[in-house]
Amino acid sequence: MLKTIKSAICLIVMTTCAMQASGSTGNDNIVSVSAPEFEKEIRSDSVQLVDVRTPQEYAEGHIDGALNINVQSDDFKELAQIELSKDSTVLVYCRSGRRSLDAAEILTSLGYNVVNLKGGIIEWKEDGLPVVSEQEN
């Protein structure tokens, strides 16, 4: 009995580590990609780009063409359903990839097809990709 429990715990730990190493979110409907892949997705037809950071973060610099819907606002679900179409893929990003993963999970549960920028705008900038600020618009 004890051996069976130890085996089960070991299997759970190994599965969790494998998921973390592979970048899997545990939700098979969410795809997380690197900045170069995300840029390719943006260039695709019929996608919706969403910055899920705060309005202040968005104003300081965002990917050109991004809509700002703050995932931390109480009305995130409602705003997303008003602003976004389920007919095209939703590309989400935040600062580091954590909040956008939360947003991706929410949007997926609402029936959207979602792609997440794994490293957020930090990775985007590190890869030399452009951002715009409110002052430039």
**What integer pLDDT is reported at residue 13 of this predicted model?**
41
Tell me which of 44-48, 70-74, 110-114 is least confident.
Answer: 44-48
Per-residue pLDDT averaged across 16-27, rounded?
44
Residue 37 burial class via C-beta count within 10 angstroms: exposed 0-12, middle 13-18, buried 19 and up: middle
Indicate whether 91 belongs to any domain: yes
Question: Of these residues, 71, 91, 92, 94, which one is catalytic?
Answer: 94
User: What SS3 class is residue 62?
Assistant: strand
Q: Cα-atom radius of gyration of the chain, to the nearest Å?
A: 17
Instruction: Find the domain containing 113 and state its range.
Output: 26-126
| Residue where the block lists tokens 């019929």 | 46
**What rounded mean pLDDT belongs to the chain?**
86
Residue 33 lies inside a defined structural domain of this protein:
yes
Domains contained in the chain, number: 1
9 lies in some domain: no
Residue 94 annotated as catalytic: yes
User: Which runs of E-coded beta strand occur in 20-131?
Assistant: 30-33, 47-51, 67-68, 89-93, 114-117
pLDDT (average), residues 15-29: 48
CATH number of the domain within which 73 lies? 3.40.250.10
Q: Is 137 among the domain residues?
A: no
Task: Record the pTM.
Answer: 0.79
The strand pair at 30-33 and 47-51 is best described as unpaired
